[in-house]
C-alpha cells in the first residue's frame, strides 16, 4: 500500500462528496480539480495555494465546486516564466468553449509550465493519465494534435514555438529532468 496514494484518494473522495452546485457537479473537470487540490494539499507540484488562479477565481471555484471547510494548501516552488502570457493565450484559444472552468484550467496549466518536472507532476496530479483527461476535455483540438503522445509540456512548447516562428524554443528546465533522453531522443 502506498500511504501517499491512499491519502490522495481519501482527500479526493472527501472533496467530491461535498455539495457542489448543479453545474459544478456536472462538470467533467471536477474530479481533476479535486486531484489538483489534493496534490496541492500534499505539497505536490509547483502551483500556488490558489492553483495559480487570481484569488477571486479561486474563491469562486471553491464556493461552487467544493463548498465547506478549506484544505490547508501550500504554495509550491513555482517560478515566473517570460512566456506565461503567451502560453495562456495559446491554451485559451484551444479551449473547448463549453464551460467557464476551462479558463481556470488554462491558467492552471500555463502556470504549471514553470516547473522542472513533467507537467502532470508540476500540476500535482496523480499521474499522466489525469493530465491527458484534462487536456482532452478542456483543449480537445490541441490534444488531438498530440497524435504521437509527446510529453505534454514538450508538446505545448513545441506547438507554441512553431506557431510563433521561434526556432530556438525554450523548454523549461528539460535539461535537468531525469527523462531528458526519452523526450529528446531522435524522433521516428
Residue ranges covered by each domain of the chain = 3-183
**Which residues fall within 8 angstroms of residue 63, CB to CB, at 6 or more apart?**
none
Q: Grid coordinates representing 187?
A: 524522433
Q: Is the pLDDT of residue 106 over 90?
A: yes
Q: What is the DSSP string of 101-136?
A: HHHHHHHHHHHHTTSSS-HHHHHT-S-HHHHHHHHH
pTM for the model stands at 0.89
pLDDT digits over 7-55, tens only? 999 999 999 999 999 999 999 999 999 999 999 999 999 999 999 999 9
pLDDT of residue 53: 96
pLDDT of residue 34: 97
pLDDT of residue 187: 44
Amino acid at each position: 500500500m502506498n500511504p501517499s496514494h491512499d491519502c490522495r484518494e481519501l482527500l479526493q473522495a472527501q472533496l467530491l462528496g461535498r455539495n457542489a452546485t448543479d453545474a459544478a457537479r456536472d462538470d467533467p473537470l471536477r474530479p481533476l480539480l479535486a486531484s489538483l487540490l489534493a496534490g496541492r494539499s500534499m505539497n505536490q507540484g509547483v502551483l500556488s495555494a490558489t492553483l495559480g488562479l487570481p484569488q477571486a477565481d479561486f474563491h469562486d471555484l471553491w464556493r461552487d465546486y467544493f463548498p465547506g471547510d478549506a484544505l490547508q494548501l501550500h504554495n509550491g516552488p513555482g517560478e515566473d516564466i517570460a512566456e506565461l502570457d503567451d502560453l495562456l493565450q495559446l491554451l485559451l484559444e484551444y479551449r473547448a468553449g463549453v464551460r467557464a472552468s476551462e479558463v481556470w484550467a488554462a491558467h492552471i496549466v500555463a502556470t504549471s509550465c514553470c516547473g522542472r518536472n513533467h507537467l502532470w507532476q508540476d500540476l500535482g496530479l496523480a499521474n499522466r493519465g489525469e493530465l491527458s483527461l484534462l487536456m482532452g476535455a478542456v483543449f480537445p483540438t490541441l490534444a488531438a494534435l498530440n497524435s504521437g503522445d509527446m510529453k505534454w509540456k514538450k508538446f505545448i512548447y513545441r506547438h507554441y514555438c512553431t506557431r510563433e516562428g521561434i526556432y530556438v524554443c525554450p523548454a523549461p528546465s528539460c535539461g535537468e529532468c531525469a527523462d531528458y533522453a526519452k523526450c529528446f531522443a531522435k524522433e521516428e
